């Protein structure tokens, strides 16, 4: 991953993957609050196409001003569409539809938008990607400094996460290679029933090596550099916690990629209680078990150099 | 990025080449749990055959690494190829996004190829730890069971002439996956020593 370099370097984290309802928005909002309370200037971006609701997790009404106002040039600077929250150092940017549309476009507009985001006054940006698997979501995930997958310990959630990871992984490889025939092989490999008999990334490398040695090496390099993160949410037992480590091992064996297990959040009734009251958990009930888990993950993110 | 076939036993278990027995045990239990047939973490990612292949690789890695002697000879054959340096980058155990991979070097650790290693008794120990019956080796190598027993018992006076013995030792070593050259050398040294006494 690697957003275009800039002088005022900030970390951009994208939160996605998994399934609808795995807790992406809840975790994004509460992580953002915890980080900003450490004195880090944080901007939350709601990029969930289907159901933008990050504002509700923060206890604010649907914002009147969105990214569209910037894209349609009703305002001239991106920072003018940032919405303040009740928490100092924490701002919100909404307007998912427009954001992802802009990401889709291979245009000057996309580059301009990325540059504008990069120049916002902040230290860290957290992007809630929603549950989507679309090309623009994948690109956003891949362009960020760190992608975080929120998974719950259920087969369906893990399955969807792998699907997301596979799409992201192959898309990244496809972007990295230059030979059209190698690109074609990678595209073919994304379908497990492909005619080339490519079942996994190792088969892919073998197939690519037959065409182009250097491209095969580049793919291996890319797999090394691709380091997504994992948060396991709604954990109910010690055994559930272990599933995070198992997912990490499975990814290492299957893709050869290093998935970083950032931490877990326990299943806690206080979570839905706080959402109902439209009060962020870490503010409303900082001593709850789920809030404690979020704080632990916060310190890991904050300490990333 | 290496397929399971190309991974070292340490990589298969995701441990460092200096892992203690306790760490190996823990890693093994984790691996077994992870690559269990209906494990949540694998069922939608791997095919059934792939899971089976990984399972047997895990068992094999565990069997060898938990056995001091086997592990030593495994390390010798895998890590001493190029001037004692580790041929591949060691596996990162605690993954961290920005963490440089620890560059473990084996230069400080010597594996002291121990000629005494392959006496009859040690060969027997290795074989028993591997759970291989002598008749099976006999069948596989076409070496008479008696001779194999004499080799293990170090019944030197009963052993056949040296030219034959060398061939038998090589066959025995190969069937256990040991380095034939080393086994022959070790055993001949044993004979030399007993002659001097
Ligand atoms: N740790 C938890 N303990 C208990 N309930 C939780 C926990 N995390 C999430 N939930 C419940 O799951 C619901 C969905 O969470 P959230 O809206 O954050 O998911 P999401 O991944 O953003 O969903 P979508 O993909 O639809 O945007 C919450 O309303 C909450 O009730
Ligand atoms: Mg959401």
Q: In what order do the strands lie in the sheet with A90-93?
A: A83-84, A90-93, A42-46, A124-128, A11-16, A146-151, A229-235, A260-266
Nearest residue CA, atom 14 of ligand 1? A21
Nearest to A132 by CA among A213, A18, A54: A18
- The two tokens of residue A44 are 């939350």
pLDDT tens readout for residues B85-132: 444 444 433 333 233 332 222 222 222 334 346 788 888 887 887 677
Per DSSP, what are the bridge partners of residue A13?
Answer: A126, A146
CB contact under 8 A, A162 and B97: no
- Structural domains in chain B, CATH included, are 4-104 (1.10.287.110), 114-196 (1.10.260.40)
ipTM above 0.90, yes or no: no
CB contact under 8 A, B41 and A256: no
Radius of gyration of chain A (CA): 19
In a domain, A214, yes or no: no
**A256 → chain B, closest CA residue:** B1
Which residues of A fall within a CB distance of 8 Å from B32? none
- Residue in B40, B46, B98 nearest the CB of A254: B46
In a domain, A220, yes or no: no
In a domain, A110, yes or no: yes
Which residues of B fall within a CB distance of 8 Å from A247? 41
pLDDT tens readout for residues B152-184: 999 999 998 888 899 999 989 888 777 788 889
Is B44 part of the contact surface with chain A (CB cutoff 8 Å)?
yes
Per-residue pLDDT of chain A (305 residues), as tens digits, is 444 344 456 889 999 987 889 999 999 999 999 999 999 999 999 988 777 899 999 999 988 888 888 888 899 899 999 999 999 999 999 986 676 676 666 656 666 777 788 889 999 999 999 888 888 888 889 888 899 999 999 999 999 999 999 999 999 999 889 999 999 999 988 877 788 888 888 889 999 999 999 999 999 998 888 999 999 999 999 889 999 999 999 999 999 899 999 999 999 999 999 999 999 999 999 999 999 999 999 998 988 76
- The two tokens of residue A247 are 């997912």
The number of domains in chain A is 1
Give the closest-approach CA distance of A166 to chain B in angstroms: 9
Residue B112 burial class via C-beta count within 10 angstroms: exposed 0-12, middle 13-18, buried 19 and up = exposed
Nearest residue CA, atom 29 of ligand 1? A272
User: Which single residue is written with the structure tokens 């206080």?
Assistant: A270
In a domain, A281, yes or no: yes
- Kindly list the protein residues whose Cβ atom lies closer than 6 A to any atom of ligand 1: A 20-26, 48, 51, 130-131, 233-234, 265, 267-268, 271-272, 275, 290
Nearest ligand for residue A21 CA? 1
Expressed as residue numbers, the domain containing A285 is 6-151+268-302
Which residues of B fall within a CB distance of 8 Å from A154? 40
Nearest residue CA, atom 15 of ligand 1? A23
SS3 B113: coil
pLDDT in the model for residue A115: 79
Nearest to A32 by CA among A77, A98, A93: A93
As a whole number of angstroms, the distance between CA A157 and CA A150 comes to 9
Nearest to A65 by CA among A88, A91, A36: A91
In a domain, A83, yes or no: yes
- The two tokens of residue B114 are 């121990």
In a domain, A252, yes or no: no
Give the closest-approach CA distance of B64 to chain A in angstroms: 20
A49 alpha carbon – ligand 2 mean position (Å): 9
| Largest Cα span, chain A | 60
- Residue in A153, A223, A253 nearest the CB of B4: A253
As a whole number of angstroms, the distance between CA A206 and CA A192 comes to 16
In a domain, A199, yes or no: no
CB contact under 8 A, A252 and B96: no
| Ligand 1 pocket: which of A14, A17, A20, A23 to mutate (most atoms within 8 A of CB) | A23
8 Å CB contact between A285 and A275:
no
B59 alpha carbon – ligand 2 mean position (Å): 42
As a whole number of angstroms, the distance between CA B193 and CA B182 comes to 17
pLDDT in the model for residue B107: 25
CATH number at residue A285: 3.40.50.300
């Amino acid at each position: 991953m690697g957003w275009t370099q800039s002088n005022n370097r900030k970390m951009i984290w994208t939160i996605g993957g998994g399934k609808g309802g795995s807790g992406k928005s809840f975790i994004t909002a509460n992580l953002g609050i915890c980080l900003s309370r450490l004195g880090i200037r944080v901007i939350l971006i709601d990029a969930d196409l289907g159901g933008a609701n990050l504002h509700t997790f923060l206890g604010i009404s649907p914002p009147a001003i969105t990214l569209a106002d910037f894209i349609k040039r009703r305002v001239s600077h991106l920072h003018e569409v940032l919405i303040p929250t009740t928490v100092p150092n924490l701002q919100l940017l909404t307007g998912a539809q427009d954001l992802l549309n802009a990401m889709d476009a291979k245009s000057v507009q996309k580059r301009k938008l990325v540059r504008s985001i990069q120049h916002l006054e902040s230290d860290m940006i957290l992007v809630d990607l929603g549950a989507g698997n679309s090309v623009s979501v994948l690109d956003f995930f891949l362009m960020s400094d760190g992608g975080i997958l929120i998974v719950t310990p259920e087969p369906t959630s893990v399955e969807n996460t792998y699907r997301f990871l596979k799409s992201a992984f192959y898309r990244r490889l496809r972007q990295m290679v230059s030979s059209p025939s190698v690109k074609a092989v990678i595209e073919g490999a994304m379908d497990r029933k492909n005619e080339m008999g490519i079942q996994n990334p190792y088969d892919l490398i073998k197939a690519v090596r037959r065409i182009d040695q250097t491209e095969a090496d580049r793919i291996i390099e890319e797999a090394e550099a691709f380091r997504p993160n994992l948060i396991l949410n709604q954990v109910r037992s010690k055994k559930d916690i272990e599933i995070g480590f198992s997912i990490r091992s499975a990814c290492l064996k299957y893709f050869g990629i290093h998935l970083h297990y950032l931490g877990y959040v326990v299943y806690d009734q206080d979570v839905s209680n706080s959402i109902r009251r439209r009060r962020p958990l870490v503010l409303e009930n900082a001593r709850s078990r789920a809030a404690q888990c979020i704080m632990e993950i916060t310190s890991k993110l904050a300490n990333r150099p | 990025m290496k397929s399971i076939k190309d991974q070292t036993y340490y990589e298969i278990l995701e441990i460092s080449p200096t892992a203690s027995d306790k760490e190996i045990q823990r890693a093994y239990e984790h691996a077994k749990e992870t690559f269990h047939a209906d494990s949540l973490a694998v069922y939608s990612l791997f095919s059934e055959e792939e899971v089976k292949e990984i399972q047997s690789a895990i068992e094999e890695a565990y069997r060898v690494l938990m056995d001091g002697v086997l592990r030593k000879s495994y390390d010798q054959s895998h890590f001493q190829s190029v001037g004692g340096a580790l041929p591949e980058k060691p596996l990162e155990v605690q993954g961290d996004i920005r963490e440089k991979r620890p560059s473990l070097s084996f230069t400080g650790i010597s594996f002291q190829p121990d000629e005494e290693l392959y006496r009859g008794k040690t060969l027997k120990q290795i074989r028993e730890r591997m759970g291989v019956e002598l008749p099976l080796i006999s069948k596989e190598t076409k070496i008479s069971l008696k001779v194999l027993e004499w080799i293990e018992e170090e019944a030197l006076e009963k052993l056949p002439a040296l030219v034959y013995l060398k061939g038998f030792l090589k066959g025995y070593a190969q069937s256990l996956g040991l380095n034939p050259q080393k086994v022959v050398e070790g055993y001949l040294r044993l004979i030399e020593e007993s002659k001097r006494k």
